[in-house]
Amino acid sequence: MHFTTKAEAESAIAAATEVFFATQARASFERHATLTRISEGLEAQLEDFAQLLCTEAKKPIRDARVEVQRARMTFSLAADEARRFGGELLPLDLSAAAAGRLGLVRRFPLGPIAAVTPFNFPLNLVAHKLAPAIAVGAPVVLKPAEKTPRIALKLQELVHASGWPEAAFAVLTPETPQEIGTLLATDPRLPVFSFTGSDRVGWELKRLATKKHVTLELGGNAAVLVADDADIAPTVARCVAGGFAYSGQVCISVQRVFVHKTHFEAFCEALVAKTRALRLGDPADENTDLGPMITEAAAIRVEQWVEQAKAAGARVLLQGLRDGASLAPSILTHVPVDQPIACDEVFGPVVVVESVESFDEGIARINASRFGLQAGVFTYDMRRILQAHQQLRVGGVIINDVPTFRSDSMPYGGDGDSGTGREGIRWTMDEYTSPRVLVL
Protein backbone atom coordinates (compact mmCIF):
# COMPACT_ATOMS: atom_id res chain seq x y z
CA MET A 1 0.00 0.00 0.00
CA HIS A 2 1.17 3.52 -0.71
CA PHE A 3 -0.23 6.96 -0.03
CA THR A 4 -0.72 9.76 -2.54
CA THR A 5 -2.80 12.50 -0.87
CA LYS A 6 -2.13 14.61 2.20
CA ALA A 7 -5.01 12.93 4.02
CA GLU A 8 -3.50 9.52 3.27
CA ALA A 9 -0.11 10.74 4.46
CA GLU A 10 -1.71 11.91 7.68
CA SER A 11 -3.25 8.47 8.17
CA ALA A 12 0.14 6.82 7.57
CA ILE A 13 1.72 9.05 10.22
CA ALA A 14 -1.06 8.24 12.67
CA ALA A 15 -0.62 4.50 12.02
CA ALA A 16 3.16 4.74 12.53
CA THR A 17 2.59 6.56 15.80
CA GLU A 18 0.15 3.91 16.98
CA VAL A 19 2.44 0.98 16.14
CA PHE A 20 5.56 2.57 17.68
CA PHE A 21 5.33 0.97 21.12
CA ALA A 22 4.82 -2.45 19.55
CA THR A 23 7.90 -2.15 17.31
CA GLN A 24 9.97 -0.70 20.15
CA ALA A 25 9.04 -3.70 22.30
CA ARG A 26 10.20 -6.26 19.72
CA ALA A 27 13.05 -8.35 21.06
CA SER A 28 16.44 -8.04 19.43
CA PHE A 29 16.23 -11.59 18.06
CA GLU A 30 12.96 -10.66 16.31
CA ARG A 31 14.46 -7.53 14.76
CA HIS A 32 17.51 -9.54 13.72
CA ALA A 33 15.30 -12.18 12.09
CA THR A 34 13.26 -9.58 10.17
CA LEU A 35 16.36 -7.83 8.86
CA THR A 36 17.91 -11.15 7.87
CA ARG A 37 14.81 -12.13 5.91
CA ILE A 38 14.88 -8.80 4.06
CA SER A 39 18.56 -9.28 3.22
CA GLU A 40 17.91 -12.80 1.97
CA GLY A 41 14.94 -11.57 -0.05
CA LEU A 42 17.09 -8.99 -1.81
CA GLU A 43 19.59 -11.71 -2.65
CA ALA A 44 16.83 -13.92 -4.05
CA GLN A 45 15.30 -11.08 -6.08
CA LEU A 46 18.58 -9.41 -7.07
CA GLU A 47 17.93 -9.42 -10.81
CA ASP A 48 14.34 -8.19 -10.44
CA PHE A 49 15.44 -5.23 -8.32
CA ALA A 50 18.41 -4.55 -10.62
CA GLN A 51 16.25 -4.47 -13.74
CA LEU A 52 13.83 -2.07 -12.06
CA LEU A 53 16.72 0.17 -11.03
CA CYS A 54 17.98 0.13 -14.60
CA THR A 55 14.56 1.01 -16.01
CA GLU A 56 13.39 3.57 -13.46
CA ALA A 57 16.65 5.28 -12.42
CA LYS A 58 18.41 4.74 -15.79
CA LYS A 59 21.30 3.15 -13.92
CA PRO A 60 23.65 0.96 -16.00
CA ILE A 61 22.72 -2.63 -15.26
CA ARG A 62 26.14 -3.53 -13.86
CA ASP A 63 25.91 -0.64 -11.37
CA ALA A 64 22.31 -1.56 -10.60
CA ARG A 65 23.36 -5.05 -9.52
CA VAL A 66 26.04 -3.56 -7.29
CA GLU A 67 23.44 -1.34 -5.61
CA VAL A 68 21.18 -4.30 -4.86
CA GLN A 69 24.11 -6.18 -3.36
CA ARG A 70 24.96 -3.16 -1.22
CA ALA A 71 21.37 -2.91 0.00
CA ARG A 72 21.45 -6.59 0.87
CA MET A 73 24.63 -5.93 2.88
CA THR A 74 23.06 -2.91 4.57
CA PHE A 75 20.19 -4.99 5.96
CA SER A 76 22.61 -7.77 6.94
CA LEU A 77 24.83 -5.32 8.84
CA ALA A 78 21.77 -3.90 10.60
CA ALA A 79 20.73 -7.43 11.59
CA ASP A 80 24.09 -7.90 13.31
CA GLU A 81 23.85 -4.52 15.04
CA ALA A 82 20.33 -5.28 16.31
CA ARG A 83 21.78 -8.08 18.44
CA ARG A 84 24.60 -6.04 19.97
CA PHE A 85 22.94 -2.65 20.48
CA GLY A 86 23.39 -2.68 24.24
CA GLY A 87 24.07 -0.17 27.00
CA GLU A 88 26.51 0.81 29.70
CA LEU A 89 26.86 0.34 33.44
CA LEU A 90 28.04 3.41 35.36
CA PRO A 91 29.42 3.51 38.90
CA LEU A 92 27.58 6.34 40.65
CA ASP A 93 29.01 5.87 44.14
CA LEU A 94 31.54 8.65 43.66
CA SER A 95 30.63 10.33 46.94
CA ALA A 96 29.19 9.28 50.27
CA ALA A 97 25.80 10.66 49.31
CA ALA A 98 25.63 8.29 46.30
CA ALA A 99 26.95 5.18 48.06
CA GLY A 100 25.25 2.00 46.87
CA ARG A 101 23.96 3.50 43.62
CA LEU A 102 24.53 2.18 40.11
CA GLY A 103 23.55 3.59 36.73
CA LEU A 104 22.29 1.58 33.74
CA VAL A 105 22.28 3.55 30.47
CA ARG A 106 20.29 2.25 27.51
CA ARG A 107 19.35 3.91 24.22
CA PHE A 108 15.69 4.00 23.20
CA PRO A 109 14.19 5.14 19.88
CA LEU A 110 12.93 8.71 19.88
CA GLY A 111 9.83 7.72 17.93
CA PRO A 112 8.73 7.13 14.33
CA ILE A 113 11.16 8.31 11.66
CA ALA A 114 10.34 10.70 8.82
CA ALA A 115 12.63 9.95 5.87
CA VAL A 116 13.17 11.58 2.47
CA THR A 117 15.46 9.98 -0.14
CA PRO A 118 16.75 11.01 -3.61
CA PHE A 119 16.66 9.32 -7.03
CA ASN A 120 20.31 8.39 -7.48
CA PHE A 121 20.47 5.42 -5.08
CA PRO A 122 16.74 4.74 -4.70
CA LEU A 123 17.25 1.34 -3.07
CA ASN A 124 20.36 1.55 -0.89
CA LEU A 125 19.66 5.06 0.44
CA VAL A 126 16.19 3.88 1.49
CA ALA A 127 17.90 0.90 3.13
CA HIS A 128 20.15 3.28 5.06
CA LYS A 129 17.08 5.00 6.54
CA LEU A 130 15.02 1.86 7.11
CA ALA A 131 17.45 -0.86 8.24
CA PRO A 132 18.76 1.06 11.31
CA ALA A 133 15.16 1.96 12.19
CA ILE A 134 14.14 -1.69 12.23
CA ALA A 135 17.28 -2.49 14.22
CA VAL A 136 16.22 -0.11 17.01
CA GLY A 137 12.50 -0.81 16.70
CA ALA A 138 11.24 2.42 15.08
CA PRO A 139 8.60 2.80 12.32
CA VAL A 140 9.46 4.76 9.17
CA VAL A 141 7.32 7.04 7.01
CA LEU A 142 9.23 7.49 3.75
CA LYS A 143 8.89 9.87 0.84
CA PRO A 144 11.13 8.59 -1.97
CA ALA A 145 12.10 10.77 -4.93
CA GLU A 146 9.15 11.32 -7.24
CA LYS A 147 11.29 10.13 -10.18
CA THR A 148 11.99 6.70 -8.60
CA PRO A 149 9.09 5.58 -6.38
CA ARG A 150 8.70 2.03 -7.71
CA ILE A 151 11.95 0.82 -6.16
CA ALA A 152 10.77 1.88 -2.70
CA LEU A 153 7.36 0.31 -3.27
CA LYS A 154 8.96 -2.98 -4.30
CA LEU A 155 11.14 -2.90 -1.20
CA GLN A 156 8.07 -2.16 0.90
CA GLU A 157 6.45 -5.38 -0.33
CA LEU A 158 9.54 -7.36 0.68
CA VAL A 159 9.77 -5.68 4.09
CA HIS A 160 6.14 -6.41 4.93
CA ALA A 161 6.47 -9.99 3.67
CA SER A 162 9.49 -10.36 5.98
CA GLY A 163 7.42 -9.72 9.09
CA TRP A 164 7.72 -5.98 9.69
CA PRO A 165 4.26 -4.48 10.38
CA GLU A 166 2.60 -2.67 7.48
CA ALA A 167 2.05 0.45 9.57
CA ALA A 168 5.74 0.51 10.50
CA PHE A 169 6.93 1.18 6.94
CA ALA A 170 4.78 3.47 4.83
CA VAL A 171 5.84 4.76 1.40
CA LEU A 172 4.35 8.09 0.36
CA THR A 173 4.10 8.81 -3.37
CA PRO A 174 2.39 12.19 -3.13
CA GLU A 175 0.67 14.21 -5.80
CA THR A 176 2.18 17.29 -4.08
CA PRO A 177 5.75 16.31 -3.09
CA GLN A 178 6.72 19.69 -1.63
CA GLU A 179 3.65 19.78 0.61
CA ILE A 180 4.32 16.28 1.93
CA GLY A 181 8.01 17.00 2.47
CA THR A 182 7.00 19.97 4.62
CA LEU A 183 4.50 17.80 6.48
CA LEU A 184 7.19 15.24 7.32
CA ALA A 185 9.53 17.97 8.52
CA THR A 186 6.95 19.66 10.74
CA ASP A 187 4.60 16.98 12.09
CA PRO A 188 5.42 16.56 15.81
CA ARG A 189 4.40 12.89 15.77
CA LEU A 190 7.61 12.18 13.81
CA PRO A 191 10.38 13.34 16.18
CA VAL A 192 13.22 12.34 13.83
CA PHE A 193 13.63 13.79 10.34
CA SER A 194 16.25 12.17 8.08
CA PHE A 195 16.78 13.80 4.69
CA THR A 196 19.10 13.01 1.79
CA GLY A 197 18.97 15.36 -1.18
CA SER A 198 19.83 18.89 -2.31
CA ASP A 199 21.34 21.36 0.13
CA ARG A 200 18.81 24.07 -0.70
CA VAL A 201 15.81 21.89 0.12
CA GLY A 202 17.46 20.16 3.06
CA TRP A 203 18.42 23.30 4.97
CA GLU A 204 14.99 24.83 4.37
CA LEU A 205 13.26 21.75 5.76
CA LYS A 206 15.62 21.77 8.76
CA ARG A 207 14.59 25.36 9.42
CA LEU A 208 10.96 24.18 9.56
CA ALA A 209 11.76 21.13 11.72
CA THR A 210 12.36 23.27 14.78
CA LYS A 211 11.94 20.69 17.56
CA LYS A 212 13.01 17.53 15.75
CA HIS A 213 16.26 15.61 15.71
CA VAL A 214 17.42 16.22 12.12
CA THR A 215 20.05 14.46 10.02
CA LEU A 216 20.93 15.87 6.61
CA GLU A 217 23.09 14.33 3.87
CA LEU A 218 23.26 17.00 1.20
CA GLY A 219 26.08 16.19 -1.16
CA GLY A 220 28.92 18.44 -2.27
CA ASN A 221 31.65 19.00 -4.83
CA ALA A 222 34.04 16.26 -3.73
CA ALA A 223 37.73 16.82 -4.33
CA VAL A 224 40.86 14.74 -4.90
CA LEU A 225 44.40 15.78 -4.01
CA VAL A 226 47.20 14.10 -5.99
CA ALA A 227 50.56 14.51 -4.25
CA ASP A 228 53.96 14.47 -5.93
CA ASP A 229 54.60 10.89 -4.71
CA ALA A 230 51.35 9.48 -6.13
CA ASP A 231 51.28 6.61 -8.62
CA ILE A 232 49.64 8.33 -11.57
CA ALA A 233 48.22 5.43 -13.64
CA PRO A 234 45.99 3.91 -10.91
CA THR A 235 45.13 7.41 -9.65
CA VAL A 236 43.80 8.40 -13.07
CA ALA A 237 41.85 5.16 -13.36
CA ARG A 238 40.13 5.76 -10.02
CA CYS A 239 39.38 9.42 -10.84
CA VAL A 240 37.68 8.39 -14.09
CA ALA A 241 35.60 5.81 -12.27
CA GLY A 242 34.80 8.20 -9.43
CA GLY A 243 34.00 11.14 -11.66
CA PHE A 244 31.80 9.53 -14.28
CA ALA A 245 30.07 6.52 -12.72
CA TYR A 246 26.29 6.91 -13.10
CA SER A 247 27.03 10.03 -15.17
CA GLY A 248 28.35 11.84 -12.10
CA GLN A 249 24.96 11.73 -10.37
CA VAL A 250 26.51 10.78 -7.04
CA CYS A 251 26.90 13.14 -4.08
CA ILE A 252 30.53 12.03 -3.62
CA SER A 253 31.34 11.97 -7.33
CA VAL A 254 34.82 13.33 -8.14
CA GLN A 255 34.27 16.92 -9.24
CA ARG A 256 37.51 18.75 -8.38
CA VAL A 257 41.00 17.29 -8.79
CA PHE A 258 44.09 19.13 -7.54
CA VAL A 259 47.31 17.68 -8.96
CA HIS A 260 50.86 18.56 -7.93
CA LYS A 261 52.51 20.56 -10.73
CA THR A 262 55.11 17.85 -11.41
CA HIS A 263 52.37 15.45 -12.56
CA PHE A 264 49.81 17.87 -13.95
CA GLU A 265 50.40 17.59 -17.71
CA ALA A 266 50.80 13.80 -17.66
CA PHE A 267 47.78 13.43 -15.41
CA CYS A 268 45.55 15.52 -17.68
CA GLU A 269 46.68 13.65 -20.79
CA ALA A 270 45.96 10.26 -19.19
CA LEU A 271 42.66 11.47 -17.71
CA VAL A 272 41.37 12.59 -21.10
CA ALA A 273 42.51 9.41 -22.84
CA LYS A 274 40.91 7.10 -20.29
CA THR A 275 37.69 9.13 -20.22
CA ARG A 276 37.40 8.95 -24.02
CA ALA A 277 37.40 5.16 -23.71
CA LEU A 278 34.20 5.13 -21.64
CA ARG A 279 31.20 3.61 -23.40
CA LEU A 280 27.98 5.62 -23.52
CA GLY A 281 24.71 3.95 -24.36
CA ASP A 282 21.65 2.05 -23.25
CA PRO A 283 21.79 1.38 -19.48
CA ALA A 284 20.38 -2.10 -20.10
CA ASP A 285 23.45 -2.98 -22.22
CA GLU A 286 25.98 -4.95 -20.17
CA ASN A 287 28.82 -3.00 -21.83
CA THR A 288 27.53 0.49 -21.02
CA ASP A 289 29.62 2.65 -18.67
CA LEU A 290 27.43 5.76 -18.80
CA GLY A 291 23.73 5.88 -19.53
CA PRO A 292 21.50 8.94 -19.85
CA MET A 293 21.05 11.36 -16.98
CA ILE A 294 17.85 11.18 -14.99
CA THR A 295 16.11 13.80 -17.19
CA GLU A 296 16.91 15.89 -20.24
CA ALA A 297 16.50 19.02 -18.11
CA ALA A 298 19.30 17.80 -15.82
CA ALA A 299 21.59 17.22 -18.81
CA ILE A 300 20.80 20.66 -20.23
CA ARG A 301 21.66 22.33 -16.90
CA VAL A 302 25.08 20.63 -16.76
CA GLU A 303 25.73 21.50 -20.41
CA GLN A 304 24.92 25.15 -19.66
CA TRP A 305 27.27 25.21 -16.67
CA VAL A 306 30.11 23.97 -18.89
CA GLU A 307 29.37 26.65 -21.49
CA GLN A 308 29.24 29.30 -18.77
CA ALA A 309 32.66 28.23 -17.47
CA LYS A 310 34.09 28.37 -21.01
CA ALA A 311 32.75 31.88 -21.46
CA ALA A 312 34.43 32.85 -18.16
CA GLY A 313 37.83 31.67 -19.40
CA ALA A 314 38.01 27.99 -18.55
CA ARG A 315 40.10 25.77 -20.79
CA VAL A 316 38.34 22.69 -22.15
CA LEU A 317 40.35 19.49 -22.23
CA LEU A 318 37.40 17.36 -23.26
CA GLN A 319 33.86 18.45 -24.00
CA GLY A 320 31.05 15.95 -24.05
CA LEU A 321 28.20 16.44 -26.47
CA ARG A 322 24.58 16.11 -25.41
CA ASP A 323 21.89 14.03 -27.11
CA GLY A 324 18.64 14.45 -25.22
CA ALA A 325 19.24 13.23 -21.66
CA SER A 326 22.56 11.64 -22.62
CA LEU A 327 25.62 13.77 -21.90
CA ALA A 328 29.18 12.65 -22.58
CA PRO A 329 31.90 13.52 -20.01
CA SER A 330 33.64 16.89 -19.91
CA ILE A 331 37.01 17.81 -18.36
CA LEU A 332 38.02 21.43 -17.79
CA THR A 333 40.91 23.34 -16.23
CA HIS A 334 41.68 26.97 -15.32
CA VAL A 335 38.10 27.32 -14.14
CA PRO A 336 37.37 30.53 -12.20
CA VAL A 337 36.54 29.59 -8.61
CA ASP A 338 33.19 31.38 -8.71
CA GLN A 339 31.88 29.25 -11.57
CA PRO A 340 29.12 26.75 -10.65
CA ILE A 341 31.13 23.76 -11.91
CA ALA A 342 33.87 24.72 -9.41
CA CYS A 343 31.91 25.89 -6.37
CA ASP A 344 28.48 24.21 -6.56
CA GLU A 345 27.46 20.58 -6.99
CA VAL A 346 27.45 19.66 -10.68
CA PHE A 347 25.76 16.27 -10.23
CA GLY A 348 26.73 15.39 -13.76
CA PRO A 349 29.66 14.03 -15.82
CA VAL A 350 32.08 16.95 -15.36
CA VAL A 351 35.52 17.00 -13.72
CA VAL A 352 37.60 20.11 -13.07
CA VAL A 353 41.36 19.49 -12.78
CA GLU A 354 43.82 22.12 -11.54
CA SER A 355 47.54 22.32 -10.78
CA VAL A 356 48.85 23.07 -7.26
CA GLU A 357 52.32 24.03 -6.08
CA SER A 358 52.30 21.99 -2.88
CA PHE A 359 50.39 19.56 -0.69
CA ASP A 360 49.49 22.44 1.63
CA GLU A 361 47.99 24.40 -1.26
CA GLY A 362 45.94 21.35 -2.22
CA ILE A 363 44.55 21.09 1.31
CA ALA A 364 43.63 24.77 1.22
CA ARG A 365 41.97 24.48 -2.21
CA ILE A 366 39.84 21.54 -1.06
CA ASN A 367 38.78 23.44 2.07
CA ALA A 368 37.87 26.53 0.03
CA SER A 369 34.37 25.16 -0.46
CA ARG A 370 31.07 25.55 1.32
CA PHE A 371 30.74 21.75 1.15
CA GLY A 372 32.63 19.11 3.11
CA LEU A 373 31.39 15.59 2.50
CA GLN A 374 34.42 13.47 1.52
CA ALA A 375 37.83 13.94 -0.09
CA GLY A 376 40.34 11.59 -1.69
CA VAL A 377 44.09 11.94 -1.15
CA PHE A 378 46.68 10.07 -3.18
CA THR A 379 50.00 9.84 -1.31
CA TYR A 380 52.19 7.24 0.41
CA ASP A 381 53.60 9.74 2.93
CA MET A 382 52.19 8.96 6.38
CA ARG A 383 52.86 12.47 7.61
CA ARG A 384 50.74 13.87 4.79
CA ILE A 385 48.03 11.29 5.43
CA LEU A 386 47.77 12.37 9.08
CA GLN A 387 47.87 16.03 8.02
CA ALA A 388 44.99 15.48 5.61
CA HIS A 389 42.97 13.67 8.27
CA GLN A 390 43.51 16.54 10.70
CA GLN A 391 43.12 19.52 8.39
CA LEU A 392 40.55 18.59 5.74
CA ARG A 393 37.12 19.86 6.79
CA VAL A 394 35.19 16.88 5.50
CA GLY A 395 33.32 13.93 6.96
CA GLY A 396 35.61 11.33 5.38
CA VAL A 397 39.17 11.26 4.04
CA ILE A 398 39.85 8.40 1.61
CA ILE A 399 43.52 7.55 1.14
CA ASN A 400 44.78 6.37 -2.26
CA ASP A 401 41.25 6.24 -3.58
CA VAL A 402 38.55 8.66 -4.66
CA PRO A 403 35.97 10.26 -2.35
CA THR A 404 33.35 8.21 -4.16
CA PHE A 405 34.27 5.23 -1.99
CA ARG A 406 31.78 4.39 0.73
CA SER A 407 31.49 1.35 2.94
CA ASP A 408 27.97 0.85 4.22
CA SER A 409 29.29 0.19 7.73
CA MET A 410 31.32 3.39 8.19
CA PRO A 411 30.08 6.75 9.53
CA TYR A 412 29.02 8.85 6.56
CA GLY A 413 28.09 12.51 6.40
CA GLY A 414 29.60 15.93 6.00
CA ASP A 415 30.42 19.34 7.38
CA GLY A 416 29.42 22.79 6.19
CA ASP A 417 26.65 22.80 3.60
CA SER A 418 27.05 19.03 3.15
CA GLY A 419 24.80 18.43 6.13
CA THR A 420 24.62 17.46 9.77
CA GLY A 421 24.68 14.14 11.59
CA ARG A 422 26.02 10.82 10.36
CA GLU A 423 24.66 7.78 8.58
CA GLY A 424 26.18 4.29 8.46
CA ILE A 425 24.25 1.61 10.32
CA ARG A 426 25.65 1.92 13.84
CA TRP A 427 25.85 5.71 13.66
CA THR A 428 22.32 6.04 12.29
CA MET A 429 21.06 3.93 15.19
CA ASP A 430 22.57 6.52 17.51
CA GLU A 431 20.87 9.32 15.55
CA TYR A 432 17.50 7.57 15.91
CA THR A 433 17.80 7.00 19.67
CA SER A 434 18.58 8.84 22.89
CA PRO A 435 20.25 7.63 26.09
CA ARG A 436 18.09 7.02 29.15
CA VAL A 437 19.62 6.32 32.54
CA LEU A 438 18.17 4.01 35.17
CA VAL A 439 19.54 4.71 38.66
CA LEU A 440 19.57 1.67 40.96
Where are the chain's structural domains? 2-218+418-439, 223-399
Q: What is the pLDDT of residue 195?
A: 98
| Superfamily grouping for domain 223-399 | Aldehyde Dehydrogenase; Chain A, domain 2 (3.40.309.10)
List the beta strands (DSSP E) in 161-306. 169-172, 192-196, 213-217, 223-226, 256-260
CATH of 2-218+418-439, one of 3.40.605.10, 3.40.50.2300, 3.30.1450.10, 3.40.50.970: 3.40.605.10
Rounded Cα–Cα distance for residues 224 and 353 (Å):
9
* Terminal-to-terminal C-alpha distance of the chain: 45
Q: How big is the chain, counted in residues? A: 440
Q: What is the pLDDT of residues 161-172, one digit of tens each?
A: 999 999 999 999
Q: Are 181 and 103 in contact (CB under 8 A)?
A: no
pTM for the complete prediction?
0.96
Q: What is the pLDDT of residue 14?
A: 98
DSSP 332-376: EES--TTSHHHHS---SSEEEEEEESSHHHHHHHHHSSSEESEEE
Nearest CA among 307, 321, 260 for reference residue 268: 260
Which residues, listed in sequence order, are joined to residue 419 by a DSSP beta bridge? 217
| Number of DSSP helices (H) and strands (E) in the chain, helices first | 15, 21
Rounded Cα–Cα distance for residues 52 and 70 (Å):
16
The answer to whether 251 is a known catalytic residue is yes
Q: Which regions of the chain are under pLDDT 50?
A: none
Q: What is the pLDDT of residue 3?
A: 85
The answer to whether 54 is a known catalytic residue is no
Q: Which residues of 226-238 are buried (b: 16+ CB within 10 A; e: fewer)?
A: bbeebeeeebbeb
- 52 backbone φψ class: left, alpha, beta (φ>0; ψ -120 to 50): alpha
- Which member of 56, 67, 239, 251 is catalytic? 251
Rounded Cα–Cα distance for residues 314 and 330 (Å):
12
- Which member of 67, 217, 303, 345 is catalytic? 217
